[in-house]
Chains A and B, each alone.
Chain A
Amino acid sequence: QITLKESGPTLVKPTQTLTLTCTFSGFSLSTSGMSVAWIRQPPGKALEWLAIIYWDDDKRYSPSLKTRLTITKDSSRNQVVLRLANLDPLDTATYFCAHPTDVYGEGLSWGQGTLVTVSS
């Protein structure tokens, strides 16, 4: 059974850097083809893909946020970390991590999400 859970601060100040951790089980990021993605959703708005990291450390970022995002992995701890720099109140959102599930044609299995508010 695949599970993912996001953790991190619920309130951060503008200009600070947000660090979120995704802790997962049921698969290994050391296995060929595996990956973990981050997606966010501002209150009342649509899903927005942020970044993805692959088993071989290949990384892709949303073009609109590329300069502010960093994604890393610790395969031994089954964790993926997302950092978003220079926060703005517009970054207030629920942040989800997700795993493309090979059994389901790379459809995403999701964590529960964590709400992050950016406010002074």
Chain B
Amino acid sequence: SSELTQPPSVSVSPGQTVTIPCSGDILRSRFACWYQQRPGQAPALIIYQDNQRPSGIPERFSGSNSGSTATLTISGSQPVDEAEYYCQVWDSSVVVFGGGTKLTVL
């Protein structure tokens, strides 16, 4: 089965840019989605089809996918962005998640 690998944690200073990678061979042929999950809340879609933002998602969130790595970029990080972030792909009608990355803004 497909696997997606994320770093367990990353940190960023307020106002700075941070990138969160998601790696896996399946990313060479599939779109990636990204979800933000704040403590005690359900995940929320923030990026779909590698680099598209749903309505209402701030422009500081962007995505890319090249080779076997998808990347979530947060430009001008804010304290409210402190959360867990998950990448996700579809693999033959099956949902595959990365292990999640805890973003600390300090």
A: residues with CB less than 8 A from B are: 37, 39, 46-49, 52, 54, 58, 60, 63, 96, 100-101, 104-113
Contacts and interface: CB of A to CB of B under 8 A. Distances in A.
Contact of B45 (A39, A47, A54, A104): A104
B42 A49 contact: no
Contacts of A110: 42-44
Nearest to B43: A110
Helix, strand, loop or mixed for chain A's interface?
strand
Interface residues on B, range: 20 to 34
A63 B1 contact: yes
Given A46-B86, A106-B90, A113 B42 contact: yes
Interface string B77-106: 000000000101010011111111000000
A83 to B, nearest CB: 19
Given A47-B43, A96-B42, 12 more contacts: A46-B97, A46-B99, A46-B100, A47-B86, A48-B97, A60-B93, A60-B94, A105-B48, A106-B90, A109-B45, A110-B43, A113-B42
B54 interface: yes
Contacts of A105: 31, 33, 48-49, 52
A63 B93 CA distance: 13
A54 B1 CA distance: 21
Contacts, number: 60
Contact of A49 (B33, B44, B96, B100): B96
A105 B35 CA distance: 14
A49 B94 contact: yes
B98 to A, nearest CB: 8
Max chain A Cβ within 10 angstroms of own Cβ: one of B1, B31, B43, B96: B43
A104 B52 CA distance: 8
A111 B43 CA distance: 9
Contacts of B42: 96, 110-113
